[in-house]
Amino acid sequence: MTSRLFTARLLPSLIAAAALAGMAGAAHAAPKHKPHATARKPAAPAEPATTTDANGRSVPLLANKAWVLMDFDSGQVLASSNGDEPLPPASLTKMMTSYLVEQGLKSGKLKPTEPVTMSLSAWCRGGKDGDSCMFVPLNAQASLMDMLRGVVIDSGNDASKALAEHIGGSESGFAAMMNAEAAKLGMTHTHFENSAGLPDPNHKASARDLAVLAQAIIRNSAEYYPIYSEREFTYNGIKQGNRNALLYTDPTVDGLKTGHTDEAGFCLTASAKRNGMRLISVIMNANSAQARADQTRVLFNWGYANFEQATPAKAGATLGTAKVLYGVVPTVAAGVGQTWTLLAPKGKAAAIQTAVTFNPGLTAPIAKGAVIGKVVATADGKPVGEAPIVALAAVERAGFFQRIGQRISGWFSK
């Protein structure tokens, strides 16, 4: 057995040990008290460093190149640093690979048991050059679901490439699919060149875009999302552990993906859910695996300590009345299409105020559910989110003579 395979077998234990190292180190490093000495009170843990953002808020100061903290339900970015800067994403790329597989399964285009072949171009040569591998033998086949776990849990470059070739015909063909899906999701600062996240000058993604991708996985691939919280996966007799250390230390964390290359540094996209409130964090280019986990903890603790859920509007409630030109009725009630939730500063949820703005020159016919404006929510006079306003009823176009009458009436009203 190669040293790489030996390491792979021990990886679950190594990750769990590393995740708990801070606690264990503190316990072993504590000096023994001398007889009859007065016991000292343990020192309080150091408070995370903070800085002031553009809105005058105190936010975490983290030693990395970029980070984002997002509310899952609304997509609201609670705070960020260089959130739109395209950076090497390393294996965070594999979230798009797994997402396309999951959507293919969901649509029925792919089957869980269909065989996927490990080609020579995808094959991991015994873990040389530091590759992350699932270790499927050359020319062997594994089920599509096993390959999916090999991507999500093992972070296997071999599994990613094999799936790319299986679905896209070639890795370049699959990359085109990745970029098309990124555009569909609104990932405007992202471009993929390969399925695994291997270094390439043109292969970049922003922290905000990766948070959007994580949101899509949790929402649109809900039946497959539990895979991201699985701590280990055994294939071909080789047991490997999930590299997301927070899965071992924080029961509220249930995903998503780690990444690391020399160029990208240590990266982590994670999600946590506490008391019904789900947050997504992205860390890019931290200086160690421990740092990316610690920084993610800081972001989650800061987010849950400083924000609470608010419901500015419920589905079907009338928030305003819009004037309609040339309709059988002169106005239409407007509201949100579905109950609107967002996060407000702690203690401000009950004081949220809303202001509605309608699109100018609304003209019949207007379909029920058509977007006709927007509503902005504010707390202490500062915007905290916005949502589209839709027509709560249809408005048919008036007949010819009624429209003429309305036009003449409009001239006189001016």
**Residues that are catalytic:** 91, 94, 155
Instruction: Tell me the CB-side half-sphere exposure of residue 276, using CA atoms within 13 A.
Output: 6
- Stated as kind and residue range, the H or E segment containing 302 is helix 289-306
User: What is the CA angle 68-103-135, rounded to 5?
Assistant: 85
User: What is the CA angle 82-88-93, rounded to 5?
Assistant: 110
* Single-letter amino acid, residue 357: T
Contact (Cβ atoms closer than 8 angstroms) between residue 241 and residue 16: yes
**Which DSSP string corresponds to 233-269?**
EEETTEEEE-S-THHHH-TTEEEEEEEEETTTEEEEE
**Which DSSP string corresponds to 222-235?**
TTTGGGGG--EEEE
Work out the number of other CB atoms within 10 angstroms of the CB of residue 147.
29
Work out the number of other CB atoms within 10 angstroms of the CB of residue 311.
13
Contact (Cβ atoms closer than 8 angstroms) between residue 7 and residue 126: no
Nearest to 221 by CA among 230, 211, 232, 213: 213
Q: Cα–Cα distance between 410 and 292 in angstroms, integer?
A: 63
Q: Would you state the structure tokens that stand for residue 208, as one six-digit string? A: 């905000």
Instruction: Tell me the CB-side half-sphere exposure of residue 211, using CA atoms within 13 A.
Output: 28
Q: Cα–Cα distance between 151 and 37 in angstroms, integer?
A: 55
